[in-house]
Amino acid sequence: MEEQINILLLEDEQEENKLVKSYLKQAFQNSYRYDKVTSLITGTEKIRLQNYDLVLLDYSSTGPDGIDFVYHIVNELKIMIPIIFLSEENNREADLKAMEAGAQDFLLKQELTPYSFEMAIRYSLKHKKAEEHIQYLAYHDALTGLPNKNLLLDRLDRTLIRFSRTQRHSVLLFLDLDSFKIINDSLGHRVGDDLLIEVSKRLSSILSETDSVARPGGDEFIILLPEISKEKEEAALKAQQIADDIINALRRPIELGDHQLHIGISIGATLFSGKDTTCADTVLKHADTAMYAAKSSGRNTISFFQEEMEKSVKYKLALENDLRKAIPKKEFELYYQPQVCVNSGTILGAEALVRWIHPEKGLISPLDFIPSAEQSGLIHPLGALIFKTACEQIDSFKGIPRISVNISAKQFHAPNFVETIENITKETNVSPKQLELELTESTMLADIEETAVKMRQLKDMGFSFALDDFGTGYSSLTYLKRLPFDVLKIDRSFIANIMDDPEHAGIATAVIYLGKALNLHIVGEGVETEDHLDFLRRQGAHSAQGYYISRPIPADELITWMNQRLTA
Ligand code: C2E
Ligand code: CA
Ligand code: CA
């Protein structure tokens, strides 16, 4: 059965178009219906409110006003509807103007036959369908079917216009997946695409009808929660709740083929209301800025936009710029922090910790520039430089069995990581047996299989591995069992609290017990007091590292420190 065609007929009161109506009946029998109006104003209102397929407009009764009307509907209200003029007399000038204004056709009544009329209408409807399809493509993301950035900006604009009346607060969330690039690069685009589709499904499932989720591109999503509250605080609270829902929805691992993926998400939020004279672009920019803040405060978090944030983003960009120049100039120095046996005090290793000696700002902590190096991709040349420096200095550390180097997740997942590391050790003539690579749990999150393969390759060359900051992340036993780690480092936050927090002491004890059961060498980090050292010793940990033994010190001081220990 044919779908019913909804027609709006605009014509004069007196002059009934009997002929047109009889043609309609002949062509479409019962599969059409029409509303008749006699004024352009009511016509406009009806078109706005109802879903017509076609407008038939009698030129004789409207004259040039009819052409203005078409222009208004098509170009100003941007309603895509075919409009056909019907005219008593041949009027070439009006015909051209009508087409220019956006009319679909200009038909002469005397020339009409039932067949030509039907064809003109069918053609218009087909044209409308095609146009709608193109419109759909222009406003949607082909992969997930979600609205794209254009459509979202449109909706955002409309929300902003409505504000002048409602004064309610809306929220825009800007979402960015945490380790998507790693997954995409290491497992391929097919897996990446499937992951994005699954994420978009999970996002859509937790939102309500009035919210809209869009995918502007890449691994980003945008959610508009329009007019959720009169009170700013309540709006913020609701945004927080939805962010929590989103984070929880993504906590469940995503199964794709043989892969089980864990994906985190960083969420930036901005509140806006009619009181602010903002435009859609600014709102979007604020949410984006907040998202970057969420990124740098760790995975799976939400950050709200604040004015000061803009300043800190500028500072970050400047830092990244400086960092780019600092790498070829080698403005970095490695400090070393010894690790000693809890029982004998003999040195078992040292951890290399990078410092940036900035020409103007002086010494900068890795906590301040490693995240920015990771975000900008500069971690790859920087990581290689750090590793090479450690290899070049290793020769002067006779008597230290092993030097450990921190490897960031992003660096590890680079396709050429294994090759880079191997080449540097060959160039500097260092045996991999002297080197330990420290990884954090975030490295394993992207894909445990790929991590296992790379670790195996490096282990076969002689490198050993430490799992850093254990206890702060997912603390998953899976990693420990399935990946060939040699060393487990208990995060310093546990050691710091063992004396006054029984829960932390309990966790530390359990971790040591577990690590020993898995035959791992246990290092306690952040040992600041004799009590800390005692605790580790009693619980059966193997080594200790921390200010109580030594702060991180430059290479030459480490040599002096060792010599003093030996003669003491
Ligand atoms: P991390 O790997 O957990 O390194 C240990 C951090 O704890 C070091 O901070 C060290 O100075 C500090 N620390 C050592 N003993 C104590 C103590 O007794 N008490 C306290 N409160 N802190 C102690 P640092 O050097 O600022 O490094 C911070 C983080 O930066 C490192 O944490 C590591 O994640 C990252 N990092 C440092 N160097 C590198 C590097 O070369 N490459 C990469 N990718 N990351 C690095
Ligand atoms: Ca470390
Ligand atoms: Ca650590």
Give the model confidence (pLDDT) of 511-562 as tens digits.
888 888 889 999 999 999 999 999 999 999 999 999 999 999 999 999 999 9
Min mean pLDDT across 137-151, 188-202, 372-386 is at 137-151
User: What's the confidence (pLDDT) of residue 485?
Assistant: 95
pLDDT digits (tens, 9 = 90+) for 123-182: 889 888 888 888 788 888 989 999 998 888 888 888 787 666 667 888 999 999 988 888
Are the CB atoms for 540 and 512 separated by under 8 Å?
yes
Whether the pLDDT of residue 275 is over 90: the answer is no
CATH 3.40.50.2300 fits 5-139, yes or no: yes
Q: Was domain 149-309 assigned CATH 3.30.70.270?
A: yes
| 272: β partners | 170
Of all ligands present, the nearest one to the C-alpha of 349 is 2
Would you state the pLDDT for residue 277? 59
Give residue 492 CA to ligand 2 midpoint distance, Å.
10
Quick check: CB of 443 below 6 Å from ligand 1?
no
The atom number, within ligand 1, closest to the CA of 438 reads 2
Q: Which ligand is nearest to the CA of 438?
A: 2
Q: Which residues contact 249 (CB under 8 A, 6 or more apart)?
A: 202, 203, 205, 206
* Minimal-distance CA residue to ligand 1 atom 10: 552
370-389 average pLDDT score: 94
Instruction: Domain ranges for the chain, please list them.
Output: 5-139, 149-309, 314-567
pLDDT > 60? residue 461: yes
- Per-residue confidence at 309, pLDDT binned at 50, 70, 90? low
The residue type at 207: L
Residue 326: which pLDDT band, with cuts at 50, 70 and 90? very high
What is the residue-averaged pLDDT of the chain?
89
pTM above 0.85, yes or no: no
Does residue 368 line the site of ligand 1, with CB under 6 A? no
Confidence at 281, pLDDT banded by 50, 70, 90: confident
pLDDT at 363 over 70: yes
> CA 17, CA 456: separation in Å to the nearest integer?
84
Cα 491 to ligand 2 centre (Å): 9
Indicate if ligand 1 lies below 6 Å from the C-beta of 386. Answer: yes
Residue 527 alpha carbon, nearest atom of ligand 1: 18
What pLDDT score does 497 carry?
85
Return the residue whose CA atom lies nearest to atom 27 of ligand 1: 366
CATH architecture of the domain 314-567 equals Alpha-Beta Barrel (3.20)
**Confidence bin at 203 (pLDDT 50/70/90):** very high
pLDDT at 276: 65
Q: Which of these ranges, 1-10, 374-383, 435-444, has the smallest mean pLDDT? A: 1-10
Ligand 1 pocket member 374 (CB < 6 A):
no
- E strands, 202-299, where? 212-217, 220-229, 254-256, 259-261, 265-272
Q: For residue 16, what pLDDT band results from cuts at 50, 70 and 90?
A: low
Residue 313 has pLDDT above 70, yes or no: no
Residue found by looking up tokens 């060792």 in the block: 562
Ligand nearest to the CA of 489: 3
Report how far residue 267's alpha carbon sits from residue 378's, in angstroms, rounded to the nearest whole number.
23
